[in-house]
Structure 1
Amino acid sequence: MEKLEDIIFYNMDKAIKSYRMYAQKKLKENGFKITIDQWLIIKTILENPNVTQQEIAKNVFKDNASVTRIIELLVQSEYLERKDNPEDRRKSQLVVTEEGKSVIQRVQDLVLENRKNALASIATEELEVMNQTLKKVIRNCS
């Protein structure tokens, strides 16, 4: 029987979780009161202002209930606000506030540093091969 550490999907999941814990720790150490998931949701909205909550959930790999809770926290923190949707009054549009844009901007340098540290000692060629391989796995599972 194979060992866990010999299973590629176990190692992929462990790498992702290790990086998320590392990145969250660095955010906290640097005085940011934002989580990785909150950062991902704000970035998603900034990149696609008309995104629906269901699309956000899909983009950040969370269920709708989790995204609803995170969005509510972001509204309370004044990083997001809800505006009336002019096309459908039953819906609201999420808008990133100036404070939300500011925190994303301030966190950006730390995010880049975290990635650099996590990928240290990995050659560019290795990263390119890994990225292409991961894209193939995604296509194979879609």
Structure 2
Amino acid sequence: MRDNNEMPGHLARRFQQIAVAVFLAEVGEAGFDLTPVQYAALASIKANPGIDQATLAGLIAYDRTTITGVVDRLVQKNLLERRASSRDRRARELEITDEGKRTLRAITPAVEEAQRMMLRGLTPKEAAELMRLMRKAIAAGNELSRAPLRDAQA
């Protein structure tokens, strides 16, 4: 039987636990109540104004059925608005509010510090290599995910 530290799934899960804990600590210390997924959604909507929830789910590789709750919480926090789509009456377009834009600007230093802390045991060269290898492994396994990453044009 292999040691857990030799299993990529175990290491990925542990890194995810650390990443979420560090993100929540840094963002919370800066005075914000935002999860990593809420941040990713907000940043993606700012970069792609008017996208619908299904497209958002693909952009942040999040399950389409669960993205509704993420969007609901961002709407409740007045960071996001849902509007009826001009192209498809069944769809809802997502727009970041002025409060959402202010929040993104203000939270950025805490998010950047969290990213640095996640890699703090590595030299800059090692961190770059880890990021390269993670992107490579994720790209190769993307279609195996229940929530594959999709670009905005997909």
The TM-score with structure 1 as length reference comes to 0.88
| Mapped partners of 2:98, 2:24: distance in 1 | 23
* Higher relative contact order structure (alpha carbons within 8 Å, sequence separation ≥ 6): 2
Contact 2:53 2:93 in 1 (8 A): no
Amino acid aligned to 2:90: R
Secondary structure at 2:70's aligned position in 1? helix
User: 1:61 corresponds to which residue?
Assistant: 61
Q: Does the CA-based 8 Å contact 2:45-2:51 persist in structure 1?
A: yes
Could you list the runs of 5+ residues in structure 1 that have no partner in the other structure? none
TM-score by length of 2: 0.82
1:1-142 alignment runs, 5 A limit: 1-141=1-141, 142=143
Shift of 1:76: 1.6
Displacement after TM superposition at 1:123 (Å)? 1.7
Letter in 2 for 1:52: D
- SS of alignment partner, residue 65 of structure 1: coil
Q: CA deviation at 1:42?
A: 0.5
Please, what is the CA RMSD of the aligned residues? Answer: 1.7
Which segments of 5 or more consecutive residues in structure 2 lack a partner in the other structure? 144-154
Higher share of residues assigned helix: 1
Tell me the alpha carbon deviations over residues 26-74 of structure 1, each in whole angstroms, 9 at most, x when there is no partner. 2223321222221111011111224331222233332223210111111
Q: CA deviation at 1:101?
A: 0.6
Distance 1:42 1:91 in 2: 18
Aligned length: 142
Aligned counterparts of 1:85 and 1:76: Cα–Cα separation in 2 = 20
Divergent runs of 4+, >3 A: none
Which secondary structure does the structure 2 equivalent of 1:34 belong to? coil
Aligned equivalents of 1:87 and 1:56: distance in 2?
17
